[in-house]
């Protein structure tokens, strides 16, 4: 059951075992060479592998910013591994829940509610929507982690800023290049020319 804590009242005593996630929303991921939407299942498979590898390296606490796309996908994987691996999920919302979910589909909203319910802690880093609430959330995640797992294409985006800040703070960097994945998904065909799903 999630324990909601104000960010000023938390001391992450497991900093050296903590990873934060960062990545683009689905519509911000690149198209493949033929202009088709990004292969989301490929990203989820690689995230699953990377999360298991991080667990094998000793990481047991994972912080998700709970944004649509990569954040939710990675957090869902952690939630699925919690009972078998003994890992913890931390949710970090940039603003109050009702404001945060305004652009979520019903499926995304349902998933976020399940993630919050099953997380060890849930933080809200901003009191209301603002120009700075996402960057404050991202800073909180990096400041409370020793590694980052990111899926990135655009380094001028919020994800790019988060990755840049993590690099500046000397976090262990685990970067998945979304542009290379988009190119690879063009090659991931079976003999009949049909993309794997």
**Could you tell me the mean pLDDT of each successive run of 10 residues in the chain, 197 residues long?**
56 87 86 70 92 96 96 97 94 89 93 94 88 93 96 86 96 90 59 38
14, 61 in Cβ contact below 8 A? yes
Strand blocks (E) in 37-187: 61-64, 88-93, 121-124, 147-152, 172-177
Give Cβ neighbours of residue 183 (< 8 Å, ≥ 6 apart): 32, 33
pTM exceeds 0.75, yes or no: yes
140, 7 in Cβ contact below 8 A? yes
Residue corresponding to tokens 């994945």 = 181
User: May I ask the CATH architecture of the domain 16-26+37-186?
Assistant: 3-Layer(aba) Sandwich (3.40)
On the CB side of 119, how many CA atoms lie within 13 Å of its CA?
27
Nearest to 119 by CA among 58, 45, 61: 61
178, 30 in Cβ contact below 8 A? yes
C-alpha angle 20/22/25, rounded to 5°? 145
Residue 70 is encoded by which pair of tokens? 């990569």
Residue 74 is encoded by which pair of tokens? 């990675």
Looking at residue 30, what is its pLDDT? Answer: 73
Looking at residue 66, what is its pLDDT? Answer: 96
């Amino acid at each position: 059951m999630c324990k909601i804590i104000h960010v000023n009242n938390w001391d992450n005593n497991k900093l050296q075992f903590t990873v934060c996630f960062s990545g683009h929303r689905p519509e911000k991921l690149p198209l493949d060479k033929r202009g088709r939407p990004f292969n989301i299942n490929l990203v989820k498979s690689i995230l699953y592998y990377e999360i298991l590898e991080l667990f094998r390296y000793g990481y047991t606490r994972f912080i998700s910013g709970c944004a649509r796309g990569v954040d939710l996908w990675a957090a869902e994987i952690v939630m699925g591994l919690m009972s078998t691996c003994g890992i913890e999920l931390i949710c970090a919302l940039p603003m109050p829940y009702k404001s945060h979910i305004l652009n979520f589909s019903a499926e995304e909203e349902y998933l976020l509610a399940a993630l919050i319910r099953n997380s060890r802690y849930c933080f809200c880093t901003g009191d209301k929507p603002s120009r700075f609430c996402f960057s404050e959330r991202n800073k909180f995640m990096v400041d409370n982690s020793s590694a980052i797992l990111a899926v990135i294409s655009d380094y001028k985006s919020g994800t790019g800023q988060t990755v840049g800040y993590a690099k500046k703070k000397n976090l262990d960097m685990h970067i998945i290049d979304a542009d290379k994945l988009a190119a690879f998904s063009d090659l991931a065909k079976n003999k009949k020319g049909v993309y794997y799903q």
